[in-house]
Chains A and B, each alone.
Chain A
Amino acid sequence: MIAGDEDILNLKQTCFRQGKFALTANFEVSKGARIAIIGPSGGGKSTLLHGISGFLKPTTGQVLWEGEPMSDHPGERPLSILFQDHNLFPHLCVADNIAVGINPNMRLSEEQILLAKNALDQVGLSEKAADFPRDLSGGQRGRVGLARILLRKRPLILLDEPFSALGPALKDEMLELLSQILDLTEASALMVTHDTNDAIRFGDQAILVAEGLAHEPQEIQSLFSNPPPALKEYIGDRA
């Protein structure tokens, strides 16, 4: 476990309940960490993300950010989310879809408009500003989502299998783009993925979530070379 006063996210003895399912989590995340969240389906990965993003309140324990409890309102938490799908508003053009990142009313100052344009340029979609999500390919839509994240510059980024619908080449491209954004913003990121290769490619650490328990982040290589039984069952015989 990597501890230290660079820890910014702290799940302190938390337990989240969703219906009959309960997830326990007790760990810290340091600044600039890139953590893959892996585990079998139904194990609680999404529950963990919901808990961190604020859609689920812990029944016990606290979710702390820089030592202070996080706000109850997800909108006030210092994070950005990227889902597997439905990240874009179908009735808004690309430019507006990014703009909602700074202001949900889409009223931007001159300065903000410039920043938004920049973000769009950086993901390579400058000519698509007036297009609508239905006119874009899967990869392009992913890039719009990333542009929004870039624009928001939040210190914590949560991703829920964001690129699982894309082909291998595109996926690599997205992960690369994500990595650049993380470098630029110095944000911490947690990404749920069911592809172990992506996990290794993306993350320094990994959190195993299985059977209602979110384990502490572990250095990813050591985790895979010496997997605990739950992980072993999940990844099978692939090295």
Chain B
Amino acid sequence: MEIYMRSLSLFAGLFLTSAAVADTPVLTVYTYDSFISDWGPGPAVEAAFEAQCSCDLQMIGAGDGAELLSRVKLEGTRSEADIILGLDTNLMADAMKTDLFEPVSIVADYAVPNGWNNKFFTPFDWGYFAFVQNVGLETVSNFRELADSDLKIVIQDPRSSTPGLGLLMWVKAAYGADAKKIWNDLNDNIVTVTAGWSEAYGMFLEGEADMVLSYTTSPAYHIIAEQDNSKTFAAFDEGHYMQVEVAGKLRSTDQPILADQFLKFMVSDVFQDIIPTTNWMFPAVTPTGGLPDGFPKALSTKKSLIFSPSDAALLREDALLEWQAALSQ
């Protein structure tokens, strides 16, 4: 009898909640996989936003950053997504060309190096790409040394992954016409090329490679969350390429007001405070609590490499060809 009553109330509860949910508006956000993983920002962001919006926030992972853009192109105006979160500056020009994004201007006190004034996209975090390795491993301080060494690295595919594309741009920014040679020399160091960041990082953690293309802030995760001091990054003489991650609003959204609300929420203190210890990137707007101890410092302007969105778009195809040619050998 007791069991019967309990299951009855359980069913009733489910029915009620689903009835409640049915009336609330749904905001759909496409983002990259690691954002919505259990240890990523997703859960906290969802909880915080739903608390203030009386809506249902659905975050859907669509691979890594560049794959995200592909999906948007594929779905076109039919897409159910309202917000795309997780593109970066390298992809912005391409994204704007699709004509699927709505201009949106969110004003905030951006802590992004060189400021921010794009009409379409809103930044939410930023970082520097770097090769992450175990402490105690022989260090290399630039790409040439890396290429000459026997170190094994795992990288990401620039066509599907923003870190992958970032590495491509990094080598291009640092070496220009010599990029091709660097890639040729790097070929024998590369263990494999993964589709996304999580795979590559996971492989590194399993010992499948000596170094992985990740961020200067990745070791901070191990230090702060796991009290593990064994990881560090290799500081490169050429400087490090910067990534500014952005979110955009789709023109085809059926929740324009809610979408705007989300973007404002995204640069607010609540969201930005979540970022450092879940996404392990620098927040786009410095939260009132500041950055956690153990976070690396920002690099000097000289060492912060980045192409403007339009330059990145122009260089991408040739850089990609060089990359493919070098790695096909």
User: In the complex, are there CB atoms of A and B closer than 8 Å?
Assistant: no
- Which B positions have Cβ atoms within 8 angstroms of A? none
